[in-house]
Chains A and B, each alone.
Chain A
Amino acid sequence: MQDNLNARDGGGDAGRERPRRASEQAQPLSDREVPLAGSPTSEMINSWLDGDTPEPVAVSAESARQVDLWRRIEEESQRRRHLVTPAHVKAQIMAALPADVPQMALPWWKKSMHVSPVVAIAAAAGLVALGAAIGNSVRIR
């Protein structure tokens, strides 16, 4: 008997593709290891979009289409570059700020400590009791 090495791929159903898991489908396109469909963005276009060279003169129909596509994307990007924060948002932020003045977060050893008289007396009594207990144990030895 032969082991079925393709059990995960749907058993004996030759030619039937294993359905893709949801996690695989949701994976960002750019994270996939397979090559992207379509033609790669040429060095010429990257150089133009990076501002290193002027807009390229297309030498082929394909590169002309790519240049046109990126010109349109750049137009849309330019439009978005002029979007401003809606006025009401600034007012909302100011209204939502805490009333307290922001303070520097101090480490615990730098923070001032307030001790009430009752707590101070209790702590002193505790220390006296502890000292007496230690003294007794030393005397016994």
Chain B
Amino acid sequence: MKTTVPTSPTDQLEVDQDIISRVLAGDRDAFSTLINRYSDPLYRHALGMTGSPDVAEDILQMSFIKAYQHLAEVRGRFDAWVFRIVANGCKDWLKNIRRTHLSYDEDDQPSGYSTPDEELDRTELRSDLDRALMTLAPSLREAFVMKHVEGRSYEEMADLLGTTVGALKMRVHRAREALQALLEEKYA
């Protein structure tokens, strides 16, 4: 997982454990360090899985509160533990809610170097890609989002999801095939 401070995994684990000890000793504000360190990749995961910034924010908030309440139970890597809380939150949401709309338009920031036509084209691809992603089974969407949007290696994905690299490659390849089938008529 990308962190704001470049450290080795062992250093990262020690730093996180130190922060957790401080929180458990009563330093509630120390928890904000963990939020600052890990919220961005977790937010991107939730956004990729749900397609809605509002829902992603809610899932992130609920997940960090849950993490805080159960902080004394952390064994091993905090980032992997909190990732599982967020991933499960996304899956629960997908099980319970039927999507009504999805768009990244709310936080679209037009880039300064593209022409209006290029920007329009890009915005269209964004919403088409979102729609196509939402037709994928959650396990395929999760694998695609982790690989392409979060830029994780297959090894890292396998570590976080508790599965094999081979199984994840298969999921990503199937997701690509499904997305290509949906998008190539319009874009290829």
Interface residues of A (CB under 8 A from B): 28-31, 36-41, 45-46, 49-50, 65-66, 68-70, 72-77, 80-81, 83-86, 89-90, 92-94, 96-98, 101-105
Report B97-138 CB contacts with A as 1/0, cut-off 8 Å. Answer: 000000010010000000000000010011001000001110
Asked whether, in the complex, the Cβ of A101 is within 8 Å of the Cβ of B26, the reply is yes
Q: B1 to nearest A CB, angstroms?
A: 13
Asked whether, in the complex, the Cβ of A36 is within 8 Å of the Cβ of B178, the reply is yes
Asked whether, in the complex, the Cβ of A81 is within 8 Å of the Cβ of B149, the reply is yes
Q: Does B61 contact A (CB under 8 A)?
A: yes
Number of A-B contacts (CB under 8 A): 146
Chain A residues with Cβ under 8 A from B187's Cβ?
A: 68-69, 72
Complex Cα distance, B43 from A81, in Å, reads 10
Chosen A-B contacts, 22 in total, with CB atoms closer than 8 Å, are: A29-B181, A38-B181, A38-B182, A38-B185, A40-B180, A41-B177, A41-B180, A50-B169, A69-B187, A72-B187, A73-B183, A77-B151, A80-B104, A83-B107, A84-B40, A84-B43, A86-B107, A89-B57, A90-B39, A94-B29, A102-B24, A102-B69
Chain A residues with Cβ under 8 A from B64's Cβ?
A: 93, 97
Q: Which 7 A-B pairs have the closest CB atoms?
A: A65-B188, A38-B181, A104-B72, A36-B181, A85-B43, A77-B148, A69-B188
Complex Cα distance, B180 from A45, in Å, reads 11
Complex Cα distance, B182 from A61, in Å, reads 19
A30, A37, A77: residue with the most chain B Cβ atoms closer than 10 Å? A30
Partner of B71, one of A45, A73, A83, A102: A102
In residues 1-52 of chain B, which contact A (Cβ within 8 Å)? Answer: 23-26, 28-29, 31-32, 35-36, 39-40, 42-44, 47-48
